[in-house]
Amino acid sequence: MKVLGIETSCDETAVAILEIDTSGLRVLSNLINSQVKIHSQYGGVVPEVAARQHSHNLIPLLEHALAATKLEIGDIDIIAATQGPGLAGSLMVGLETAKTLAWSHNLPLIPINHLLGHLWSWLLPTPEKRESINFDFPFLSLIVSGGHTELVLVKSFKDHEILGQTLDDAAGEAFDKVAKVLNLGYPGGPVIAERADLGDASRFELPRPMIDSNNFSFSFSGLKTAVLYSWWDLKKTEQDINDMAASFQKAVIDVLLYKTKLALKKYPVSLVTISGGVSANLSLRQHLSDEFEKDKVKVAVPQLVYTGDNAAMIALAGYFEWLNTKSKKIADKHLALSIKPNLKLKAKS
Ligand code: KG4
Ligand code: ZN
């Protein structure tokens, strides 16, 4: 079957088409129109600007995806669109467009939790390559993005137990805020990672928040404040920037690693997945793989194109939802759907 995915929860307008059945999956098209350049001049995402950009870009992107795959909307079997969490105006553009398409072409529409998209993104193959879908439940999923930091025990397609999440800033948000302190621009993740490669991670002693809490909660706002205090007294040379970036990145990785290890101790599964924008961080990937794979726990990460926001992951989550929703009535309910900016993952649905 062919699944059309639409993602507009934040500052990426994205459209994807998957060809998928129970034996395998192929990404026929994965288009992402990033607004990063526009928002970087304001130092972060401006919601009103993001929504306008989505409405400007979404239809041309849809046309492009169909033309590039030589498909017509009539060839699509289901549509999956992000319902939340995210920015209200941005979500509205994607979901209302999806509703209109579904209504006018009599197609089922599956509303998707953006976090579920990230949760499944590690399964997506390189565009054009067909791959089988092969894994076992339960597994541990660490979702680290600009808006979220969640450790989830995935027991089935419909049962996701959130073991812990951030009490304040998300991991990606901390990267973005620290980059602001170091005057490195937005988004912070990629540039901090680049600087960290050149720095000495042991130069600044930064806290590892909540590492002794014996639960799976995270907190990153104190870490950002600690960076700010250490930064004031420095000359702010290039080496200072590199060393601070390295020390900060190491502190985040230590916490993520420690909490995931703690979760593995309590729930000894054989697969850990890391996804979301921060999972693009190569040092994070390396540390987690080194730590867990020596104990025969497989670490799976998305290909770099699928770490940030994309619609292929939404289409995949939509397919799983479709496959596992007993009553296929979702199809008939699409006109009543509305956005859910504060949508959470559910333990059982
Ligand atoms: O998943 P995503 O694209 O959007 C949300 O759903 O939030 O994640 C964006 C976040 C940003 O905070 C960005 O700074 C961070 O991912 N990020 C990284 C890296 N690349 C992007 N953080 C650390 N290292 C990276 N290489
Ligand atoms: Zn995201």
Using CA atoms, how far apart are residues 188 and 169, in angstroms rounded to an integer?
A: 14
Using CA atoms, how far apart are residues 27 and 124, in angstroms rounded to an integer?
A: 7
Q: How confident is the model at residue 347 (pLDDT cuts 50, 70, 90)?
A: confident
Across 40-55, average pLDDT = 90
List pLDDT tens digits, range 207-253.
999 998 989 999 999 999 999 999 999 999 999 999 999 999 999 99
- State the pLDDT at residue 53: 93
* Nearest ligand, measured from the Cα of 171: 1
- State the pLDDT at residue 331: 58
Q: Please check whether residue 18 is in contact with residue 28, taking contact to mean a CB–CB distance below 8 angstroms.
A: yes
Q: Write the CB contacts of 341 (distance below 8 Å, at least 6 apart in sequence).
A: 84, 85, 86, 87, 88, 91
Using CA atoms, how far apart are residues 27 and 128, in angstroms rounded to an integer?
A: 6
Q: How far is CA 117 from CA 164, 207, 263, in A?
A: 18, 31, 22
Angle at 268 between CA 262 and CA 273, to 5 degrees: 75
DSSP string, 190-250: HHHHHHHTTS-TTSS----TTTTSSSS-B--HHHHHHHHHHHHTS---HHHHHHHHHHHHH
- The reported pTM is 0.95
Q: Please check whether residue 11 is in contact with residue 61, taking contact to mean a CB–CB distance below 8 angstroms.
A: no
Q: How confident is the model at residue 332 (pLDDT cuts 50, 70, 90)?
A: low
Q: Nearest Cα to 32, choosing from 334, 274, 277?
A: 277
Residue in the block written with tokens 């590690």? 122
* Nearest ligand, measured from the Cα of 187: 1
DSSP state of 169: S
Ligand 1, residue 147: give the atom nearest the CA: 7
Q: How far is CA 56 from CA 6, 82, 303, in A?
A: 14, 18, 28
List pLDDT tens digits, range 143-165.
999 999 999 999 999 999 999 99
Across 101-126, average pLDDT = 95
**In Å, how far from its chain's centre is CA 257?**
18
Flag whether pLDDT at 327 surpasses 80. Answer: no
Q: Where are the alpha helices (DSSP H) in the chain?
A: 36-40, 47-69, 88-104, 114-120, 171-181, 188-196, 221-232, 238-266, 282-293, 312-324
Residue 72 CA to ligand 1 center (angstroms) comes to 33
- State the pLDDT at residue 47: 92
List pLDDT tens digits, range 281-314.
999 999 999 999 999 999 999 999 999 999 999 9
CA dihedral (51, 55, 57, 61) positive or negative: positive
In DSSP terms, 300 is beta-bridged to 273
Query: From atom 18 of ligand 1, which residue's Cα is the shortest distance away?
Result: 189
Ligand 1, residue 148: give the atom nearest the CA: 7
The response to whether residue 280 sits with its C-beta less than 6 Å from ligand 1 reads: yes
Measured from the Cβ of residue 238, the count of other Cβ atoms closer than 10 Å reads 10
DSSP 3-state assignment of 109?
strand
> How big is the chain, counted in residues?
349
Structure tokens of 202? Answer: 């042991």
List pLDDT tens digits, range 72-82.
999 999 999 99
Q: How confident is the model at residue 101 (pLDDT cuts 50, 70, 90)?
A: very high
Q: How confident is the model at residue 349 (pLDDT cuts 50, 70, 90)?
A: low
Q: How confident is the model at residue 336 (pLDDT cuts 50, 70, 90)?
A: confident
Q: How confident is the model at residue 200 (pLDDT cuts 50, 70, 90)?
A: very high
Flag whether pLDDT at 326 surpasses 60. Answer: no
Flag whether pLDDT at 328 surpasses 70. Answer: no
- State the pLDDT at residue 36: 87
Q: Which residues surround ligand 2, an ion (CB under 5 A)?
A: 145, 309
Q: Please check whether residue 59 is in contact with residue 293, taking contact to mean a CB–CB distance below 8 angstroms.
A: no
Write down the mean pLDDT value for the chain: 94
DSSP 3-state assignment of 294?
coil
| 30-31-37-42 Cα dihedral, nearest 10 degrees | -90
Mutation pick for ligand 1 pocket among 12, 175, 250 (CB with most ligand atoms within 8 Å) = 175
